[in-house]
Structure 1
Amino acid sequence: MGDEEQEELRKLRKINKALMERVERSMDQQGNAYSLFQTAIGLEEQVRRRTTELSSTLVDLESTNHLLIKAKNAAEQANLSKTRFLAAASHDVLQPLNTALLLMSTLSSAQTSAEGSRLCAQVEHSLETMDELLRNLLYMSRLDAGDVHPRWQTVSLDQLFDSIASDFEPIARVRNLDLRVRHSGLHVWSDPTMLRRTIQNIVTNALRYTREGGALLIAGRHGDKVHVRIADTGIGIEPNRFKEIFIEFNRCAPGQNELDGSFAGLGLGLAIVERMVNALELQLTLNSRVGHGSCFKLTLPYREPTRLLGTARPADLLSNAQLANTRILLIENDLTALKAMDTLLSQWGCDLRLSSSAQETMDALNNDKSWEPDLIIADQHLDNNERGTSIIRIVRQLTGRRVPAVVVTAAPSDRLWKMADQGRLEVMPKPVKPAQLRALLMHLRTRAVEPAT
């Protein structure tokens, strides 16, 4: 084969190789395209399946959210219903308890034997424990429902501390403990009733779990803040139990904490403290060492004291006040409670007129023009939707005098407390404690009679 023929053959092979490579490349491209097509189909199927699953999940989630909203609304409604029920039932529940305490006080005074006095004291203590439990449960329910609103005003810590110390010194004395108060002259911006209850619950807890030593109430100012400390030398609390002590019905180390059963706790005091601290927007901190004691610290906003005209102190008035021959108009629709209060006040030497409605009150005053009340004691919730405050207003209009008045009720409203803050009347929650009622009446008896407004 000649050179020309060999050259031609070489060219043909080269062309053939190039054509084969092109064909192979074309086939590879077609194969890749087919593979991509299959992959796309597979991905589309996965996307469709995932979309279906996601849609189903979203439907289930929406249904679950709907059920949760319904459950939340039902729980809130149940809580509100519970609060309304407790508020409505409190009058009916506390009314017989109020009557029992009044009758027990009268029965105790009539005892001639030591055993009879001892039994009366035990029954009275049990009634007071029941009263405390019911009141705390009702108050906690109102706090949880947001039904308790602070009445902000300037509060003197010295007066508040003295009032608490006066109440708790007899308890501390019985337990051989020392309750001390340090005056600071400081004033804070708070609700006096809620702040007092917060501090006294902590003091109660301090005395309950202290075997030796005592408790101290002290306040100090730091800039625009005031720190109130309640310290004790009690058994102390382990750090990992700090949150636990604020849980309802939780009692620290039951069985070994109290010296005796006369000051037994119900496990609600600090639970109420936590709720009131939140309502008053205070800061509460706790430091404690087991075996050494505890210190609760409340941080409140400082307030410049309000300058008021000087008034006589209740303690000065009580020493000279007498209830004998005091003319009292008693307004009460519950016959049993009326008889119990009648017996108690008569035992104190009071001159009484009894009524259960506005009409009976007007009849009692019109039938004897020579008799006008020195004091009024009125139940707030009477028959036929009448209110004790309305009858008090009628009496004041008839007599032309602002006769000092006490409204007794199981569920004091914000309006009643506002009227009390304005000095228009006194509010005493049921059940009425005879000693407190007597002290209040003796104080009111000394108040100068003002023209009616």
Structure 2
Amino acid sequence: MDLFQLTTFNADASEKSHIAESTDAVDIVALREENRRLRKVCQALIERVETGGRSDGAPYAAFERSVLLAEQVRERTDELHRTLDELSQVNTRLLAAKAEAEAANLSKTKFLAAVSHDLLQPLNAARLFASALETHSLPDVSQALVGHIGRSLKDVEGLIGTLVDISRLDAGVLHADKAPFAVSTLLDALAEEYRQVAGVRGLALHYVPSSAVVESDLALLARVIRNFLSNAVRYTEQGRVLLGCRRRRDGLEIMVGDTGPGIPEQQRDAIFLEFRRANHSSSAHSRGLGLGLAIVDRISIMLEQPITLASRSGVGALFSITVPYATSAAPAVTNTRYAPSSDTGEDPLSGCVIWVIDDDQAIIEGMQALLGSWGCRVRAAATVSALEATSDGERPVVLLVDYHLGEHRETGIELAARLQRRYPGLAAVVITANHEAEIKRATREAGMHCLLKPLKPLRLRMLLGTLLNKT
């Protein structure tokens, strides 16, 4: 290579080197500028994160706190799920225990409701014997003892009846059997019964009869009015008791008033609760479980017939229940007012032939004693064939038959219907300790009368007097 070529080559190389150096310098400057810009962006982002997380600007504090909170939430969520599982298991056990307790309680109440017949049978027989004794001529001391027995049996009857009623209500086996009837059917008998009860306490009972026809369950309504009368007699030391009615636009208001101590206003709601009574005297006359008005309140709700109470302390109290008027006529055989003598001046019960059918021997003997003391000619047995074998051809005028006549036997209604076909004109009274509405309805539809055990002698006598007067 000559000198010119060498010089030219070196010049070109120097120029290229200068250009490369210039290019590298530009790239370095650009990179530095880009790096500076990225640093500013990064710094701005860091400052934004720090100032957005916590006010003190501690780096990564928000992130750390978020992680911690997330971990705590996860732990609490797991703990909550475990607790919910445990609560679910406990709740399942509680539901099972509750169901078992309710089943046991229902079984108890159904059992007591079912055995009420067996509970009331011996009590019914005892009441019949005691009532028969009261009609005998006895020395004064013996007569007083008989009176004490009768009152004690009545107290036992009231307690058992209350417990059985509560059981029936709890078990849901007590239902209303509403039908039209003359209110005198109920009130005449109650007035006569409690006139004697009030007389023993030295009280007067003032009764105002009514000719109204109402629609209700006669037996349940009787339970309500009987409770009102019992309380009035029990808590009234002197004065009188009132039983009467007042016609209202929405129904007949049946009222029971007294001249007793009255009920303070603050106690008027509490006395309708179970096992609660007014704070009156603790004399022997005020014995009771405090369930009477609780049952009355529940019966009132069942019948949809409201109860009211008006009272003034030291003056007296007035309980009432409003019963709707009947929309149809009452049966012609509903009046049970007892006429002690017929138009000829003779007692209609004297010498009348009455048949009694019951599978309990004590009841048979008790009915024979009671009806015999009233002058009736009584034929009592467990079967129709036994009655007819001892009847000497006498036709019965009235049949008193128990509803439950043992297993695999016809009911009292069926037996009475069969005898009515054999003896036309035979009046039938079905007697039962079963308060089911179906039995009362079936008896009424068959044109028969129904009496509940324990049998109340005065109620029976009034009904017999009415039937025999019609015959």
Distance 1:19 1:443 in 2: 119
> Superposed, which structure 2 residues align to 1:339-378 within 5 Å?
339-357=365-383, 361-362=384-385, 364-365=387-388, 370-378=393-401
Residue 122 of structure 1 corresponds to 148
Q: Does residue 416 in structure 1 map to residue 439 in structure 2?
A: yes
Maintained 8 Å contact 1:144/1:275 = no
Distance 2:207 2:354 in 1: 38
Structure 1 gaps of 5+ residues are 1-13, 449-453
Distance of aligned partners of 1:89 and 1:362 in 2 relative to their CA distance in 1, 3 Å threshold: same
Q: Does residue 393 in structure 1 map to residue 417 in structure 2?
A: yes
Shift of 1:148: 1.5
Shift of 1:402: 4.9
Distance of aligned partners of 1:347 and 1:223 in 2 relative to their CA distance in 1, 3 Å threshold: closer
Shift of 1:418: 0.8
Residue 402 of structure 2 corresponds to 379
Distance of aligned partners of 1:268 and 1:393 in 2 relative to their CA distance in 1, 3 Å threshold: same
> Superposed, which structure 2 residues align to 1:18-29 within 5 Å?
24-29=43-48
Maintained 8 Å contact 2:233/2:241 = yes
Q: Deviations 1:256-303 (Å, cap 9, x if unpaired)? A: 265xx3574442221211111221234444444432333445455x43
Structure 2 gaps of 5+ residues are 1-32, 54-58
Distance of aligned partners of 1:374 and 1:205 in 2 relative to their CA distance in 1, 3 Å threshold: same
- Counterpart selection for 2:76 from 45, 50, 58: 50
Shift of 1:133: 1.0
Maintained 8 Å contact 1:102/1:434 = yes
Greater gyration radius: 2
> Superposed, which structure 2 residues align to 1:130-145 within 5 Å?
130-145=156-171
Residue 10 of structure 1 corresponds to none
Number of residue-to-residue matches in the alignment = 427
Distance of aligned partners of 1:442 and 1:165 in 2 relative to their CA distance in 1, 3 Å threshold: closer
> Superposed, which structure 2 residues align to 1:99-248 within 5 Å?
99-154=125-180, 161-177=187-203, 179-180=205-206, 189-216=215-242, 224=250, 230-248=256-274
Shift of 1:26: 4.2
Distance 1:363 1:162 in 2: 36
Q: Deviations 1:317-363 (Å, cap 9, x if unpaired)? A: 54214233322222222223323323333444433434323xxx236
Q: Deviations 1:40-67 (Å, cap 9, x if unpaired)? A: 3222222222322332333233334323
User: Per the alignment, in what secondary structure is the counterpart of residue 279 of structure 2?
Assistant: coil
Shift of 1:142: 0.8
Maintained 8 Å contact 2:185/2:336 = no
Shift of 1:157: 5.3
- Counterpart selection for 1:37 from 55, 60, 63: 63
Shift of 1:138: 0.4
Distance 2:215 2:140 in 1: 49
Maintained 8 Å contact 1:330/1:376 = yes
Distance 2:268 2:109 in 1: 28
Distance of aligned partners of 1:153 and 1:390 in 2 relative to their CA distance in 1, 3 Å threshold: closer
Superposition TM-score, scaled by structure 2 size: 0.77
Q: Deviations 1:211-233 (Å, cap 9, x if unpaired)? A: 34444456556654665554444
RMSD: 3.6
Distance of aligned partners of 1:230 and 1:59 in 2 relative to their CA distance in 1, 3 Å threshold: farther
Q: Does residue 432 in structure 1 map to residue 446 in structure 2?
A: no
Deviating more after overlay: 24-33 vs 199-208: 24-33
- What is the identity, as a one-letter code, of the residue corresponding to 2:67? I
Distance 1:318 1:117 in 2: 23
Maintained 8 Å contact 1:318/1:443 = no
- What is the identity, as a one-letter code, of the residue corresponding to 1:278? I
Deviating more after overlay: 282-291 vs 84-93: 282-291
Shift of 1:115: 0.6
Maintained 8 Å contact 1:208/1:257 = no
Shift of 1:135: 1.1
User: Per the alignment, in what secondary structure is the counterpart of residue 394 of structure 2?
Assistant: coil
